[in-house]
Amino acid sequence: MRHILSYTRQELKAKLTELGLKPFRTKQLWDWVHVRGVVDFDLMDNLPKRERLILAENFSSFLPTITAEQHASDGVIKWLFKMEDGHEVESVFIPEATRGTLCISSQVGCTLTCRFCHTGTQGLSRNLSTEEIVLQVWMARSRIDDWQGRDKPRKISNIVFMGMGEPLYNKDNVFTSCHIFMDEHGMGYGSRKITISTSGVVPEIPAIGEELGVNLAISIHASNNETRTKIMPINNKYDLGQLIESVKAFRLKETRKITWEYIMLDGINDSEEDAKALVKLLDGIPSMVNLIPFNPWPGSPYKPSTTENITKFYKKLQRLGMIAVIRKTRGEDILAACGQLRSETSKRNTVSLEFPTVVDVYGTEAQKQRIKVEITGAEA
């Protein structure tokens, strides 16, 4: 039985017609699920009882169990959502003064083994389904009480595919979930509010612009093939020359820029010469370079660049006319920062956690559905 959150609105309309329900029920059902945040058919009180039963018999409305919810001292929240088959998926909420970003995963684990990345050490278990991707946003919005209606400011204003996995190795499910996020009658996230970050799966990059029009971020992390191959094995398959060509073919929306993620590794990629080579490489592409201080994890093979070197690198980029920012490290104390996501249950006690005192579900009675919270493997 397909999950209610796996349907696009058009697919849902076709399914309801097949079940003998009137087409206008699509709008009501879509509103319950994607605007009010309710998937329990029993609670949908503007639908006749008989039709609610039909829905319950024909759609899954499974909700993952929250096996951990960690609050960092800077407001970042990390969740582990246990899916139906027991696999755990991580999502991270990063609140800022004027917006809130939810970082979501596209795979359980990852095949790509980038050497600076904690997730890359665990291998790939499987791709996430469409509903498992949508569920991360749905669950996070429920947990932080973010179902205020379509026209009100929302706590989760931006969605980024920067969690576990390479989104373009799960392209169909990632693209369908983006269509669901962007549906104007549902969650209504604009294309500017969604970012897909890839390590450089060259053949699929143009489709992000052509089929979705969302923001593109590329993990580049080096300005020459030799260094990039050392730290990102995918460079053996798609090298920097091919990557730059595919980005040039990407249909960029007006006024937007490609974001280039660049992790600062001590003595590896952080010299002023590297900065100069990067600017040369990106010549002619509307770009913004995001310098990411490396967050070491137990056993990581690299050290973070010094603040002095990061500053020198940043200033060199600026002098050469490149727009650059140094990303503020968030959620460090719960290993929620970039490249640190890892869902291995056994590792949970190795970091200092600050668990919420209230573990029941936020929101109105109607929203208190079947969300289960099982904080396990950590001190409460």
User: How many angstroms separate the Cα of 237 from the Cα of each of 187, 200, 225, 243, 260?
Assistant: 37, 10, 11, 10, 19
CA triple 73-79-85, angle to 5 deg: 165
Could you give the residue ranges of the DSSP H alpha helices within 78-170? 130-143
* Site for ligand SF4, residues 284 to 303, rule: CB under 6 A: none
Residue closer to ligand SF4, measured from CB, 166 or 204: 166
**Which one of residues 119, 269, 305, 340 is an interface residue with ligand SF4 (CB under 6 A)?**
119
Provide, rounded to whole angstroms, the least separation between the CB of residue 99 and ligand SF4.
23
| Nearest distance from C-beta of residue 210 to ligand SF4, angstroms | 22
Q: Active-site positions?
A: 90, 338
Convert residues 161-190 into a mask of x (bound to ligand SF4 by CB under 6 A) and - (unbound): ---xxx------------------------
Contact between 246 and ligand SF4 by CB under 6 A: the answer reads no
Binding residue (CB under 6 A) for ligand SF4 from 72, 114, 243, 324: 114
Beta carbon of residue 338, minimum distance to ligand SF4 (angstroms, whole number): 8
Closest CB to ligand SF4 among residues 166, 274 = 166
Give the nearer residue to ligand SF4 in terms of CB position, either 199 or 215: 199
Q: Token match 């996070």: residue?
A: 140
Instruction: Establish if 199 lies at the interface with ligand SF4 (CB under 6 A).
Output: yes
**Which helix (H) or strand (E) element contains residue 280?**
helix 272-281
Q: Cβ neighbours of residue 11 under 8 Å, at least 6 residues apart?
A: none
Give yes or no for a contact between 4 and 25, defined as CB atoms under 8 angstroms apart.
Answer: no
Strand blocks (E) in 3-105: 65-71, 77-82, 88-95, 100-103
Nearest distance in Å: CB 317, ligand SF4 = 22
Distance of closest approach, residue 118 Cβ to ligand SF4, in angstroms: 8
CA dist 141 and 158 (Å) reads 12
CA distance 28 to 50: 15
Piece in contact with ligand SF4 (CB under 6 A), picked from 59-67, 159-167, 288-296, 314-322? 159-167
160 near ligand SF4 (CB under 6 A):
no
List beta partners, residue 69: 79
Say how far apart CA 266 and CA 260 lie, in whole Å: 19
Instruction: Give whichever of 113 and 191 is closer to ligand SF4, judged by the CB atom.
Output: 113
Q: Of 199 and 369, which has the nearer Cβ to ligand SF4? A: 199
Cα–Cα distance between 166 and 179 in angstroms, integer?
Answer: 18
Binding residues (CB under 6 A) for ligand SF4: these are 110, 112-114, 117, 119-120, 164-166, 199, 339
